[in-house]
Amino acid sequence: MNIFFLSMGCAKNSVDSEHLIGRLVANGHKIVDNAEDAQVGLINTCAFIQDAVKENVDAILDLELLKEQGKLDKIIVVGCIVNRYEAELRKELPTVDLWASAEEWDKVTGFLGQVSPKATGEFLSTSFASSPNRGLLPGSAFWSRYLKVGEGCDTFCSYCTIPLIRGRLRSVPVERLVSEAKTLCESGARELCLVGQDLTVYGKDIYGKPALADLLKALNSELPDETWIRLLYLHPERITREFLDFISGTEKILPYLDIPVQHVDETILSAMNRSPDAAHIRDIFAYLRAKNPLFALRTTIMVGFPGETEAQFQRVLEFLEEVEFDRLGAFAYSPEEGTKAALLPGQISDEVKEERLSRLMELQRRISSERNSIFVGKTLRVLVEEIDRDDNLAWGRSYRDAPEVDGMISIEGGGALNPGSWVDATVTDFAEHDLFAELKNAR
């Protein structure tokens, strides 16, 4: 059976989708690029914030229209939006044939059945655990893959819906993750991006204490030479100088950390149910930059949290000036049903939130440009992503650039390269987010 598979939301959702695709292909089904070529439309959904919910509902409605036109036989909706809103959605979207919560992949495969006698393989019962056949989303890069270390979260930030949607922390054992990582590398992966709601608590539920360092030591030892290991989503509260020393001295781990701080005013951090130790937050970034001025730092900032004053927002701007993050993700606070923050007094108007977000991003554009400027004249190892053979150009990412969210490097003279290859390129110019370079050599 031909299946059009749409994966929405975050990288963690993408990993879930790839595990489900692996099961479907093993059962004899085929994943196709276009809905018009499919009998089944399947969407793995996101419901983190209301904007995501609306986007996902619109995507389901698009599939419903195709079904009404006779271009699809069945619609399957799985994932976070089902966890959060199944009862309401069943009433509003009656033509959906199957609703399945996140990780209910056996329900999906059971509904579709096995259509090929070649289908083999014993699959684990959880989406985030290693399975014998992890697929690849159509259009995805085989050379850069995500490794999901667990699901759920025990931190309970007051604004966050993740524990409501995905439950408590459930880590994948080290040996399973190492096995999955090795399989991905054997399939051509050169970069593995570790993801979870918070990497710093990885393993606490199964080992009695955080075990991220143990996992990283095993990956560093077992994976092929030159493999990039990139760490995404680390809560600043649990980052120590000892951990930063370990990261800096470990061969395959990139000098890149994504540490979402959300805010730096201690009153706001306390209301967020995040550690209100602003001094610690400043210390970890200062320590990293002192060790390696070229260390790539990424963070996330939330503006307009309930009660945020102009003075408290100014502290965020001063913090950004002080640290000079290479990359920044920022968003306006969204009151989410079921969260404690949605009930707090002092809700900020949308106009104020958007005005503060605009000012913050204007500042970050300048900082990003200044950080990019220091790389002119330096030679960087680049993982090639795209090729324009007509203009003899290639685009890729250095250690400073996570897939999908960060900048790119345009490489003059790279038209003969292949996606997924390594190249050394010398930076010649810069923009706010991207770099421009000349080809030095390729591997």
Quick: pLDDT tens for 402-438: 999 999 999 999 999 999 999 999 999 999 999 999 9
Q: Are residues 367 and 385 in the same domain?
A: no
**Contact between 134 and 184 (Cβ < 8 Å):** yes
Q: Which whole number is the average pLDDT over 36-49?
A: 90
Q: Are residues 18 and 150 in the same domain?
A: no
What angle (nearest 5°) sits at the alpha carbon of residue 322, between those of residues 316 and 325? 80
Of 373, 392, 426, the one marking the end of a domain is: 373
**Contact between 388 and 410 (Cβ < 8 Å):** no
Give me the CATH number covering residue 433: 2.40.50.140
Give me the CATH number covering residue 54: 3.40.50.12160
Q: Which whole number is the average pLDDT over 302-323?
A: 97
pLDDT digits (tens, 9 = 90+) for 362-404: 999 999 999 999 999 999 999 999 999 999 999 999 999 999 9
pLDDT digits (tens, 9 = 90+) for 208-262: 999 999 999 999 999 999 999 999 999 999 999 999 999 999 999 999 999 999 9
Domain tally for the chain?
A: 3
Task: Compute the distance between CA of residue 180 and CA of residue 132 in angstroms, rounded to an integer.
Answer: 8
Of 373, 401, 426, the one marking the end of a domain is: 373
Q: pLDDT tier at 139 (50, 70, 90 boundaries)?
A: confident
pLDDT digits (tens, 9 = 90+) for 31-41: 998 888 899 99
Q: Are residues 194 and 260 in the same domain?
A: yes
Element (H, E) at 411: strand 409-412
What angle (nearest 5°) sits at the alpha carbon of residue 69, between those of residues 63 and 71? 65
Written as six digits, the tokens of 6 are 């749409």
Per-residue pLDDT, 128: 40
**Contact between 53 and 77 (Cβ < 8 Å):** no
Q: Are residues 228 and 329 in the same domain?
A: yes
Per-residue pLDDT, 119: 42
Q: Are residues 206 and 302 in the same domain?
A: yes
Q: Which domain holds residue 250?
A: 144-373
**Inter-CA distances, 270 with 159, 341, 343, Å:** 12, 11, 15
257 found inside a domain: yes
Query: Which has the closest alpha carbon to 253: 226, 230, 287?
Result: 230
Q: Are residues 208 and 337 in the same domain?
A: yes
Per-residue pLDDT, 138: 85
Q: Are residues 92 and 182 in the same domain?
A: no
Q: Angle, nearest 10°, between helix axes 174-186 and 212-222? A: 30
Q: Are residues 48 and 191 in the same domain?
A: no
Most confident of 67-71, 123-127, 137-141, 252-256: 252-256
CB proximity list for 423: less than 8 A, separation 6 or greater: 381, 382, 384, 394, 396, 411, 414, 417, 439, 440, 441, 442, 443
Q: Which whole number is the average pLDDT over 271-275?
A: 94
Give me the CATH number covering residue 190: 3.80.30.20
Average pLDDT, the chain: 92
Q: Are residues 33 and 162 in the same domain?
A: no
In DSSP notation, 231-294 reads E----GGG--HHHHHHHHT-TTEEEEEE---B---HHHHHHTTS---HHHHHHHHHHHHHH-TT
Query: Which has the closest alpha carbon to 443: 381, 395, 396, 391?
Result: 381
The pLDDT of residue 124 is above 80: no
355 found inside a domain: yes
Q: Are residues 164 and 243 in the same domain?
A: yes
Per-residue pLDDT, 116: 67
